[in-house]
Structure 1
């Protein structure tokens, strides 16, 4: 009897602890950040994404010119997978794949906003067995049109070095590697090797940053430039 009572009490305490963590990390902390950003008038640079709470996120470091089909075909040819939409089912699946160390090549990515909108497309490339570590890039379709009339997609490429706890909210998240320029270089290199880039140039981006921090509190550094590449039309 005593052992059963202790087991029930331990279960209740564990459930209460889990509920407290969820309430703090996924509700209270994000609300605190939203209030602080509103109070302090924090405005991220023009070419920097934000979290849904308004916390400055990852910089825009790539722009690709092409239709949506051009984008999908190019990344498929380069060996990248289109990320699944973020949902309860895909969230559970990525959690299981990380814990059990099994592949999930089209795992979802977290939501970041650019111009107040969530990403339109996201692609990833495995770096290990599970999506615990992976190369990935998010894209937002813009109103900028090329001479051919095709849209321009602004992208933010980073490398997920592992799953952990957000330094700002305590929520479970991926942490990125600090050298985001290396990830930009990899994306452009893979697309070039696949023969999907017609031309490219470098333009000013978010600006040189030596000790930036993204939405999870991870440090990063960048030369602040953006590679603009024109994609070959889909075949």
Structure 2
């Protein structure tokens, strides 16, 4: 082999390795690393050690957590208002009488109270509902608790439990009069998420699969629930 051929072979080899390096660099810098970073920012480590279920006042298992919002309390109240979800009235004798009368007369009560559930040792910080027609026995509702720790960007993080009240009846466990939820809590999670997306005030929506390892159960009222195990996370725009 002549010196010219040897030099050409060496040049061709360098070009091949250079081409391979450029391809590898492109894949790592423009595809792999952005994907990894995106997954990291969506991971929300604050959820790693968080509870999966709410509890009732007497310590029984409540409804499952299925949605989280990232934003301030004021931002949550504003986006829920735009999504046509109304803040629930506090529990009390007066509101109990009103919801009883409205149930009998089939009048809408858009701010009817919700029973208290507990997380982090306290009842819900915020509660919202969306009426269904003029029947106060049926409604969409969600409770939110502010997580004690912010997310990795220092933003306020709220854990929520969304479910659908399909009727009023006696509790299967205590005999008290209560709302009974529909078992498909994923459907309610997706309904709320859809309403929030319609406001155009979300900067990001992601899903954490396998948040729940136990995919079915019963709440404190004896109502059955089931889930695909996913937690939806929605980030409110910070203008």
TM range, normalised to the smaller chain? 0.7 to 0.9
Q: Give the structure 2 partner of residue 133 of structure 1.
A: 138
Give the Cα–Cα distance (whole angstroms) in 2 for the partners of residues 146 and 168 of structure 1: 37
CA drift of 1:90 comes to 1.2
Q: Decide which structure has greater strand share.
A: 1
Q: Which moved more, 1:167-176 or 1:124-133?
A: 124-133
Q: Give the structure 2 partner of residue 28 of structure 1.
A: none
User: Does the aligned pair in 2 maintain the 1:84–1:107 contact within 8 Å?
Assistant: yes
Q: Give the structure 2 partner of residue 61 of structure 1.
A: 66
Give the Cα–Cα distance (whole angstroms) in 2 for the partners of residues 98 and 140 of structure 1: 28
What is the aligned-residue RMSD (CA, Å)? 1.5
Q: Give the structure 2 partner of residue 207 of structure 1.
A: 213
Q: Give the structure 1 partner of residue 180 of structure 2.
A: 175
Q: Give the structure 2 partner of residue 81 of structure 1.
A: 86
Give the Cα–Cα distance (whole angstroms) in 2 for the partners of residues 70 and 225 of structure 1: 24
User: Does the aligned pair in 2 maintain the 1:159–1:183 contact within 8 Å?
Assistant: yes
User: Does the aligned pair in 2 maintain the 1:207–1:223 contact within 8 Å?
Assistant: no
Give the Cα–Cα distance (whole angstroms) in 2 for the partners of residues 157 and 141 of structure 1: 15
Give the Cα–Cα distance (whole angstroms) in 2 for the partners of residues 156 and 106 of structure 1: 18
Give the Cα–Cα distance (whole angstroms) in 1 for the partners of residues 65 and 77 of structure 2: 19
The unaligned stretches of length 5 or more in structure 1 are 1-44
Q: Deviations over 1:142-170 (max 9, x none)?
A: 12313553311100000000100000000
The unaligned stretches of length 5 or more in structure 2 are 1-49
Alignment partner for residue 100 of structure 1, among 97, 102, 105? 105
Alignment partner for residue 158 of structure 2, among 153, 160, 180? 153
User: Does the aligned pair in 2 maintain the 1:138–1:155 contact within 8 Å?
Assistant: yes
Q: Which moved more, 1:92-101 or 1:48-57?
A: 92-101
Moved over 6 A (4+): none
What's the secondary structure of 1:123's corresponding residue? strand
Give the Cα–Cα distance (whole angstroms) in 1 for the partners of residues 202 and 152 of structure 2: 16
TM-score normalised over the length of structure 1 = 0.77
User: Does the aligned pair in 2 maintain the 1:46–1:206 contact within 8 Å?
Assistant: no
Give the Cα–Cα distance (whole angstroms) in 2 for the partners of residues 207 and 144 of structure 1: 23
Alignment partner for residue 118 of structure 1, among 119, 123, 129? 123
Q: Which moved more, 1:144-153 or 1:192-201?
A: 144-153
What's the secondary structure of 1:130's corresponding residue? coil
Q: How many residues align?
A: 189
Give the Cα–Cα distance (whole angstroms) in 2 for the partners of residues 141 and 92 of structure 1: 30
1:198 to 2:203 alignment:
yes
